[in-house]
Amino acid sequence: MSVTHEVLSPLPGTFYRSAAPDAPPFKQEGERVEIGDVVGLIEVMKQFSEVTAEEAGRLQRFLVANADPVEPGQVLLLIEVD
Give tens-digit pLDDT for 38-67. Answer: 999 999 999 999 999 999 999 999 999 999
Q: How far apart are the C-alpha atoms of 6 and 21, rounded to whole Å?
A: 25
Count of domains for the chain: 1
Distance between CA atoms of residues 34 and 14, nearest Å: 23
Q: What is the pLDDT of residues 20-41, one digit of tens each?
A: 999 999 999 999 999 999 999 9
Domain of residue 42: give its range.
3-81
| Whole-structure pTM value | 0.93
